[in-house]
Amino acid sequence: MTEPVWGPVHADIVDLLADHPEDVPAVVDHLTKLQDLLVRLPPLERSCPLADFNRLYLTITSRVLEGLYDDYFADPVFLSRLDVEFAARYFDAMRLWTESSPTTPRAWSCLFKRMKGPDARPLPSAAAGVNAHINFDLPFALVTTFDHLESEPVDGTEQHRDYLKINDIFADKIPSLRRGYLERWQLLLDMLNGDIDDWYQGELVEYTRDVAWRNAQKIWRCRHDPQARDGERTRLDDNAAALGRLLLSPLGAFLQ
Amino acid sequence: MASDVDSAPLVGRADQLAALRAALHDDIGPGQTAAVFVTGESGVGKTRLLTEAAARLRDAGAVVLTGSCLDIGDASPLHPVLQALRRFDADLAAGQARTSSAVRGLLRTFAEESGGADSAGALLERVSAGLSLIAEGRPLVLVLDDLQWVDRTTRQLLLYLLAGLGGLQLSVLAAVRAESLQGAHPLRRVLTELRRLRSVRVLDLAPLDRADTDRLAGEIVGTPLAPEAADQVWQRSGGNPFVVEELARDLRDGHDGLSDTLREIFLSRVDVLPRQAHAAVHAVAAGVEPVEHWLLAEVLGLPEPELIGALREAVAHRLLVGADDGYRLRHRLVAEVLAHELLPAERAGLHRRYAEALTQAPAELHQARLAHHWRLAGEPGRALPAAMAAAREAQRLHGFAEAHRHWSAALQLAATPTSGRSGAPPEVDRAVLLEQAAETAHQSGEHARALSLLAELTGGEPLDPSCGLRIRRARYLAAAGRSAPAEAEYRGVLESVDCTARDRAAAAARLAELLLHLGRYADAGQRAREALELAATVDGSTTEVVLASSALGFSEAFLEDPDAGLAVVRRALETAERSGGPEDVACAYLHLAELLTGPLNILEEGVVVARRGAERVAELGLGRTYETRLLAIATNGLFRVGQWAEAEKVVAAALRHRPSGADAVELLLARCRLSVGYGDVEASDRDLEAVATMLAGGGAPRHVLPMLILRAGLAMWQGRHDVARQAVQRGLTESRSDDVVLLGALAWHGLRAEAEAHASRTVAVDPTAVRRLRDAVDRVTAKSVTAAGPVRLNADGFLALCTAELTRLDGRGDPDAWARSAAEWDKRHHPYPAAYSRLRQAEALLARRSRSSTASKLLRQAHEMALSLGAVPLTSEIRTLAGRARVELTERAQPTGRRPGRTRSTGVGRQSAGAAPATATGEPVADELVTLTAREREVLTAVAEGLTNREIGQRLFISERTIGVHVSHIFDKLQVRTRVQASAIHLRNRGE
């Protein structure tokens, strides 16, 4: 038989993924356990590119959890549902990868493939994960959350403001993660938050970090039309995958 | 005809079939529900598995209804259910006249549904009643394929039935295409929420493994494959059974080499089709599946023998499948392959022929299909009336989301320039379309869309729209949570000289209501007075009077002039009774009962008003909606004043109306609160599962916190402090800090869980959790200072409990803190937390070995309070403590004969008090069972056999609820807390 996808920690990861966390404390718990497993994954172990992303994501999500406990958000119901749904998509991608499913989003599989090497620098690795998660997963997580809460993505609402606060958390956490790389991170984040189309078309002037939100609104409008919805999905996946491959190429290393 | 088509054996799914049968049939107790959702990629064999499982369930004696959802995007509400019923009826044998008439009766219910005022819930109720007639006591299985295309109404029906609200023993087996769940599909959340329930399973159907792939291919070819061919099949199919089958067939039929992809397989088959068969496949691809035989004949215009010949060819080439109800493409890929083959004009021609054929004869989904085909035939003028008819049809069945989609389509059609052959478009008032589209958008929760449609209606001109439209705009804005512009719009109407007094009264009343929700009580009061003045000048404005009076009443109550507020709301009820419609009367009762049991905390009167109101609205014919709401208020009031037995009766009466949606959730929570108090784990669990099922449908986040609080409360009685902690943590991260009362209750549960974990050492105290709980308490304290009086009153009760629990965590507990808590709850006439506080106060006193006489007195008080409530777990905690402290509990607790509720003291008085731990530590007494009645002994015997209350009820022919009462009495008399302990005593004494 071929070697299991997750090598020596395969069984542990499959067990972990069998569980579907339903609140933010459980998501943090999940990410923590995942981190412990990913750094044991040969050949790269501590420098596993997925672990680089997971570490960053864990830091951000823990901060979001603190924010929820500390009354930092105006609509915690929305934000916690969004956070859980958002994380579920990362776990889903891992699950599909585990099953070697051809439907694994390409935005993710370009990072998953690199777990076996060659080693990529931690910064672009984490960035590739952030790219897949924000540019591909987030718009869909937003749509699902709004649909579930029988609400809708409207600019200037409490939900929109809470959503934008997450960006502050990113900005706040990232410099402390890698001191001295702030400007490059900033550049990277600005770039990541746009999909390549929009970037080229120069639509990013006003809403640099808001592209996932815009995309969610776009999907929201066509969510009853399966064909248009799938079209959006393919478009976002293609864009995110292209950017992800770029980040993991030798070019990405310039960032660090 | 198609001997070859379905003969492929089912390989590698034996385990799943057995699991399905067990989950959906064998393991379900009477009256319970279950569901399995099968997910998997296309071609993995979901439909096949469903068919096989359905056949097995049918053999096992179940009534199986099977339907599929449609992907035309604008289907009609409940379509898959209707389709299932029609199919079932068609398959019934001649001897099943009674079942058949039940099926037709239910189909008539759909046909006759008027879409009237009596809410969509009534339809759900009628459907479940109809289903239960069809089932005639047999287990019912609803099998739904392609659930990814399910309409919203069917989704709600499923959750309603699965929550047990239909009173039906039902299981659901549904297949969902995994790819669809990856996007933003609404089912995604539903399945995530459901999958943690015990009654629900999500079965992820994986591709076949290598061995099964070889087996399947071998079976199809007739001999085991050569290793090289087997390798190729495995490599190319990835174990997907559909692909394996097609590849193996190609191999068997001697096609040159293996096709690389399914697409190639289908392409080559389409290429070799004879001309008429080719046409037939294209026609089916353009139709809405299943395409009926008669319809296909009309569209193709072939004489019958030739048509049959063509269809045979298409089936033999494995491009079409035929069933009794019509034809389908064998796989979605076939449609994709065909899509590139037709010229646009050819495809439009096919749709035209469909539309023409359907115009002449009614068929399933008539209007929706007609609209679909005319639109694609390039005839917007003819599609338009059909789209409008389909929208009205959906509205009739309360499918506002579907109706909205049809109205939107109608708008687009009306805007499409008609060309060429079609005549002039029918005269349709665009304003009517916009208004309908806006209102249905609002009704299905798409307020932003409703607003933009409304903006279009006013033509984007800044000039005055009509007053009616402005009020509507304000209403949509308020619903969308945009209070500031909503307020501005209402003010605009109020200031406009063009608006009538009636319009202005309506605007003022609604504005008052909005301000009340925003907590701006003074402003709300002012606007409400304005509304009342305006309404006084207009005849027939009772609705506005009722609305404004309630806003005024509540604002006064919050501003601490309760008497004035109460008087206004009472007057509104009189006005409604004198001159209002039934809804006005119902609303007035509702407001009065809410005011009394809510901010005013005049519980006894509130309960009386709610119950009287319930009777009155039932007379008025508004039983389903308003009566259930009023009874929910009565139940919660009765719970708080400690009349639990009465509360139980009321909630049972309310649930007999089979409410749905938020009303149902409210009642289930109320009943669960009672069950948790009684310590009935089984009943509590069942209601919590039902609530979670209903909440999986989305909306109503306000019910999540009460559910989590109950989950924590139940876990605490079970000694599962970690479970309680998890529920509280989730609650803390999902609550707004201005919701001080719920947050206070939540924090108390969290602190109590930590304190009890500390005391009992079940799990380690989590210092981080405690720190967060302290923070939450601080926030509630800070917020409640500025909150309105009534809110502060309720919050303070929970804060007293929190403060006292914290002293338990810091040390042995501070008796003074507990005394303060008891006093707070006494002040509110809320005996349950008051009794609990006394227990803790006594415990703290005893731990300090001081004032044991005070402690004894407190324990006896607490014991009497808990007993008269019927609060079994609390009673036994009190007894355990009394036993440890050698406190005589019953000294002054001789039955006085006036205890309300489920008095559990019977027999206890005769036993020596303080003997609580006897069963655990003392010598077994020879006549331990002597205090039990004959019936109770029967019940205990059954308990010892491990039967559930439900099963015992069935055995002894009495209700499950009564069994619950018997079991509680048994626990009381034997002084035990668990079924296991009771069974142990039974076994010890069995010899006699």
Question: In this complex, is the C-beta atom of A65 within 8 Å of any C-beta atom belonging to chain B?
Answer: yes
Instruction: Tell me whether residues B182 and A229 touch, CB distance under 8 A.
Output: no
Question: In this complex, is the C-beta atom of B206 within 8 Å of any C-beta atom belonging to chain A?
Answer: yes
CB proximity under 8 Å: A 227-256 to B: 229-230, 233
CB proximity under 8 Å: B 25-64 to A: 41
Answer yes or no: do B167 and B42 share one domain: yes
Say yes or no to pLDDT of B608 above 90: yes
In-domain check, residue B478 = no
Answer yes or no: do B183 and B222 share one domain: no
The Cα–Cα gap between B332 and B334 comes to: 5
Mean pLDDT of A94-99: 90
Question: In this complex, is the C-beta atom of A196 within 8 Å of any C-beta atom belonging to chain B?
Answer: no
In-domain check, residue B254 = yes
Instruction: Tell me whether residues B192 and A92 touch, CB distance under 8 A.
Output: no
Say yes or no to pLDDT of A252 above 80: no
Instruction: Tell me whether residues A233 and B481 touch, CB distance under 8 A.
Output: no
Compute the C-alpha angle B661/B181/A97, nearest 5°. Answer: 140
Query: What is the reported pLDDT for B811?
Result: 79
Instruction: Tell me whether residues A20 and B192 touch, CB distance under 8 A.
Output: yes
- Best mutation site among A224, A232, A233, A237 for testing chain B: the one with the most B CBs within 10 Å? A224
Q: How far is A250 from chain B (nearest CA, A)?
A: 31
Say yes or no to pLDDT of B552 above 70: yes
pLDDT band of residue A135 (cuts 50, 70, 90) is confident
Query: What is the reported pLDDT for B794?
Result: 83
Query: What is the reported pLDDT for B913?
Result: 35
In-domain check, residue B989 = yes
Q: How far is B182 from chain A (nearest CA, A)?
A: 8
A179-233: pLDDT as tens digits = 444 445 445 555 555 444 443 333 333 344 577 888 888 888 888 777 788 888 8
Percent of chain B with pLDDT over 70: 91
Q: How far is B732 from chain A (nearest CA, A)?
A: 6
DSSP annotation of B417 = P
Question: In this complex, is the C-beta atom of A80 within 8 Å of any C-beta atom belonging to chain B?
Answer: yes
Question: In this complex, is the C-beta atom of B211 within 8 Å of any C-beta atom belonging to chain A?
Answer: no
Instruction: Look up the CATH number of the domain holding residue B76.
Output: 3.40.50.300
Per-residue burial over B82-102, b if 16 or more Cβ lie within 10 Å, else e, is: bbbbbbbbeeeeeeeeebbeb
Question: In this complex, is the C-beta atom of B447 within 8 Å of any C-beta atom belonging to chain A?
Answer: yes
Instruction: Tell me whether residues B699 and A77 touch, CB distance under 8 A.
Output: no
Say yes or no to pLDDT of B959 above 90: no
Tokens of B870: 């019927």
Residues of A in Cβ contact (< 8 Å) with B405:
224
Out of A65, A224, A233, name the one closest to residue B405 (CB): A224
Question: In this complex, is the C-beta atom of A22 within 8 Å of any C-beta atom belonging to chain B?
Answer: yes
Query: What is the reported pLDDT for A239?
Result: 82
- Best mutation site among B155, B177, B188, B780 for testing chain A: the one with the most A CBs within 10 Å? B188
Out of A20, A71, A230, name the one closest to residue B183 (CB): A230
> Which residue in chain B has the smallest CA separation from A141?
B184
Answer yes or no: do B44 and B172 share one domain: yes
Query: What is the reported pLDDT for A180?
Result: 40
Question: In this complex, is the C-beta atom of A103 within 8 Å of any C-beta atom belonging to chain B?
Answer: yes
Q: How far is A221 from chain B (nearest CA, A)?
A: 9
- Asked if A122 and A254 count as a contact pair (C-beta separation under 8 A), the reply is no
pTM of structure: 0.79
B83-141: pLDDT as tens digits = 899 888 888 877 788 888 888 888 888 777 766 555 667 788 888 888 988 888 888 99
Last residue of a domain, one of B187, B206, B225: B206
Instruction: Name the nearest CA neighbour of A39 among A69, A6, A5.
Output: A6
The Cα–Cα gap between B343 and B339 comes to: 9
Number of domains making up chain B:
3
Most confident region among B371-375, B615-619, B708-712 by mean pLDDT: B708-712
Out of B73, B188, B447, name the one closest to residue A225 (CB): B73
Answer yes or no: do B114 and B26 share one domain: yes
Instruction: Tell me whether residues A152 and B446 touch, CB distance under 8 A.
Output: yes
Instruction: Tell me whether residues A20 and B732 touch, CB distance under 8 A.
Output: no
HEC profile of B553-608: HHHHHHCCCHHHHHHHHHHHHHHHHHHCCHHHHHHHHHHHHHHHHCCCCCHHHHHH
Q: Quote ipTM for the complex.
A: 0.84
Answer yes or no: do B242 and B119 share one domain: no
In-domain check, residue B251 = yes
Handedness of CA B413, A228, B82, A147 (dihedral sign): negative
Question: In this complex, is the C-beta atom of B261 within 8 Å of any C-beta atom belonging to chain A?
Answer: no
Does residue A151 sit in helix, strand or coil? coil
Query: What is the reported pLDDT for B806?
Result: 95
Q: How far is B758 from chain A (nearest CA, A)?
A: 22
In the chain, the amino acid numbered B447 is H
In-domain check, residue B775 = no
Answer yes or no: do B155 and B169 share one domain: yes
Question: In this complex, is the C-beta atom of A15 within 8 Å of any C-beta atom belonging to chain B?
Answer: no
> Which residue in chain B has the smallest CA separation from A143?
B184
Q: Are strands B200-204 and B140-145 parallel, antiparallel or unpaired?
A: unpaired
Does residue B200 sit in helix, strand or coil? strand
Average pLDDT, chain B: 84
Out of B196, B449, B733, name the one closest to residue A80 (CB): B733
Question: In this complex, is the C-beta atom of B698 within 8 Å of any C-beta atom belonging to chain A?
Answer: yes
DSSP annotation of B462 = S
The Cα–Cα gap between A189 and A185 comes to: 6
In-domain check, residue B161 = yes
Q: Could you please report the per-residue DSSP string of B264-285? A: HHHHHHHHT--HHHHHHHHHHH
B827-842: pLDDT as tens digits = 988 999 999 999 999 9
In-domain check, residue B171 = yes
Instruction: Look up the CATH number of the domain holding residue B970.
Output: 1.10.10.10
Question: In this complex, is the C-beta atom of B593 within 8 Å of any C-beta atom belonging to chain A?
Answer: no
Most confident region among A180-194, B461-475, B621-635, B680-694 by mean pLDDT: B680-694
Instruction: Tell me whether residues A152 and B480 touch, CB distance under 8 A.
Output: yes
Q: How far is B374 from chain A (nearest CA, A)?
A: 18
Answer yes or no: do B182 and B228 share one domain: no
Q: Are strands B63-68 and B33-40 parallel, antiparallel or unpaired?
A: unpaired
> Which residue in chain B has the smallest CA separation from A225?
B73
Question: In this complex, is the C-beta atom of A23 within 8 Å of any C-beta atom belonging to chain B?
Answer: yes
Last residue of a domain, one of B243, B260, B277: B260
B534-551: pLDDT as tens digits = 998 888 788 888 889 988
B893-937: pLDDT as tens digits = 444 433 333 433 333 333 333 333 333 333 334 467 777 877 788
- Asked if A30 and A21 count as a contact pair (C-beta separation under 8 A), the reply is yes
Last residue of a domain, one of B161, B180, B206: B206
Compute the C-alpha angle B948/B953/B955, nearest 5°. Answer: 95
Out of A24, A103, A151, name the one closest to residue B41 (CB): A103
Least confident of A138-147, B69-78, B219-228, B393-402: B69-78
Percent of chain B with pLDDT over 90: 30
Instruction: Name the nearest CA neighbour of B807 among B847, B858, B763, B834.
Output: B847
> Which residue in chain B has the smallest CA separation from A89?
B182
Handedness of CA B825, B829, B833, B839 (dihedral sign): positive
Answer yes or no: do B158 and B231 share one domain: no
Out of A20, A150, A152, name the one closest to residue B699 (CB): A150
What stretch of H or E contains B923? none
Residue A61's Cβ-count burial label (10 Å; 0-12, 13-18, 19+) is buried
In-domain check, residue B949 = yes
Least confident of B298-307, B394-403, B859-868: B394-403
Instruction: Tell me whether residues A154 and B179 touch, CB distance under 8 A.
Output: no
Question: In this complex, is the C-beta atom of A25 within 8 Å of any C-beta atom belonging to chain B?
Answer: yes
Question: In this complex, is the C-beta atom of B729 within 8 Å of any C-beta atom belonging to chain A?
Answer: yes
Instruction: Tell me whether residues A102 and B238 touch, CB distance under 8 A.
Output: yes
Look at B484 and A105; give whichever has higher pLDDT: A105
Instruction: Tell me whether residues B189 and A147 touch, CB distance under 8 A.
Output: yes
Instruction: Tell me whether residues A88 and B699 touch, CB distance under 8 A.
Output: no
Count of pairs with CB atoms under 8 A, one residue in A, one in B: 113
- Asked if B409 and B371 count as a contact pair (C-beta separation under 8 A), the reply is yes
B760-785: pLDDT as tens digits = 877 888 899 999 999 999 999 998 88
Answer yes or no: do B138 and B249 share one domain: no
> Which residue in chain A has the smallest CA separation from B202?
A18
Question: In this complex, is the C-beta atom of A86 within 8 Å of any C-beta atom belonging to chain B?
Answer: no
Answer yes or no: do B988 and B963 share one domain: yes
Residue B114's Cβ-count burial label (10 Å; 0-12, 13-18, 19+) is exposed
Q: Which residues contact A177 (CB under 8 A, 6 or more apart)?
A: A56, A59
Answer yes or no: do B185 and B220 share one domain: no
B248-280: pLDDT as tens digits = 887 887 765 556 667 777 777 888 888 889 889
The Cα–Cα gap between B387 and B380 comes to: 10
**Residue-range definition of the domain harbouring residue B256:** 211-260
Say yes or no to pLDDT of B808 above 90: yes
Answer yes or no: do B186 and B222 share one domain: no
Instruction: Tell me whether residues A150 and B698 touch, CB distance under 8 A.
Output: yes
